[in-house]
Structure formats: C-alpha cells, structure tokens
Amino acid sequence: MYLLHFDHYLSIYLSIYLSIYLSIYTLFMCVRVSEIPWGNRPPTSLSPGEDIDDDDDDNDDDDNKDEGRLQPRLRSFIFPTPPPPHQSLPPAIFFPKDPNTIVLFNLLSIIREYKFRKNIKFLSFFLFVCLFVSFFLSFFLSFFLSFSVYSSISQSVYLSLFLSLSLSLSLSIYIYIYIYIYIYPSVHYLSIYLLSIYL
C-alpha cells in the first residue's frame, strides 16, 4: 500500500487550513462591508407616501440594538435590489428595465461613469506591484525555511509555490476590498463581483 510522505501530509493540511481561513476571512469581510452605511434609504416596508412613527422606531431601536442588527444589511448586501423610482440613484449606478442585464450594466457604468475612473490604471498597477513583491518575498522566505527542513530542492519549491500563491491570493482579495471601500461608493456591487470570481 502506498503511504504518503510527510510533505504530502503537510501540503494537504496547509491547503485545508488555508481554504478554511480564506472562507472565514471572506465571510468576515462581507460582514464588515455590510456594516458600512450606504446612504439614507427609506425602509422597504413603507410606501412612498407613508409616514414613519418616530416613537415606535426609537423604542424598536433601543430594544433590538444588539440583536438582529446585521440581518437587513446582509440581506440587502447579498441580494441587492434597485431603489424605488422616486429615490435618487447613487452615482454611477443605473438600473435598466431588463433584470438580466442589471449586474453587467452596473459594472460597466461604474467603470465608465465614475469620477475616479482615471485612477483605475494606477490602482491596477499598484495591486500588481503588491502581488509581485508579496509573491517573491513569500516564495524565497518559505523556500529557505522549507529547504532547511527537507533538504530537498524539489520539495522546497513545491511547498514554496503553494504558500506564495495562497498568500498572494489572500492579499489580492484584501487589497481589492480595501481599495473599493475607501474609493468607490458602490462597493457592495463590486465586492460581490470580486468575491464571486474568487469563489
């Protein structure tokens, strides 16, 4: 019976650990993004001509301040819906009548119409430099560490490539989300798009 070597066990363990870590980190970033206020939107349960009772809202906020605070925001973050017709649209967000082209149309309008569109090349270059530097630094560091343990170049290169690619992937996700949080107001659409590519 073929027995796996220690390096195979280690690579399997690291792959499982990193996949779990990246999944938890992605979920954590989704929760953090959902906590950002996206503007003063009226409650979805109210009609355009209906008034809001301030006393009831204050009591409800005091009673349910800690419980169930993220559910509406997470729901609107995961399943974004177009705003009502009487409400002004956010910048660079347009909702066509065809629901099948909403996501694509929003992404194209964000890239074309947003005032920071001139900085996309700089941000892409900055991201590429960060990934390039992190990849080689993690590669050489893990190579020397693994070479001192295994004393084999092939095993060290294999493990170093795995660790450097995992680190670069996690760093790229972090930089993307960080940039779009502080630059783009429509981060929930872009983060959904990026996370869907990552997943």
Closest residue by Cα to residue 173 from 130, 136, 133: 130
Q: Does 70 have pLDDT greater than 60?
A: no
pLDDT at residue number 10: 61
Mean pLDDT computed over every residue of the chain = 54
Q: Does 3 have pLDDT greater than 50?
A: no
User: DSSP characters for 109-177?
Assistant: HHHHHSTTGGGHHHHHHHHHHHHHHHHHHHHHHHHHHHHHHH--HHHHHHHHHHHHHHHHHHHHHHHHH
Integer Cα distance of 47 and 56 in angstroms = 17
Question: 170 or 7: which carries more pLDDT confidence?
Answer: 170
* Percent of the chain topping pLDDT 90: 0
- Three-state SS for 185? coil
Banded pLDDT at 14 (limits 50, 70, 90): low
Rounded (5°) CA angle 196-74-192: 20
* Percent of the chain topping pLDDT 70: 0
User: Per residue in 119-137, pLDDT tens?
Assistant: 555 555 666 666 666 667 6
pLDDT at residue number 199: 44
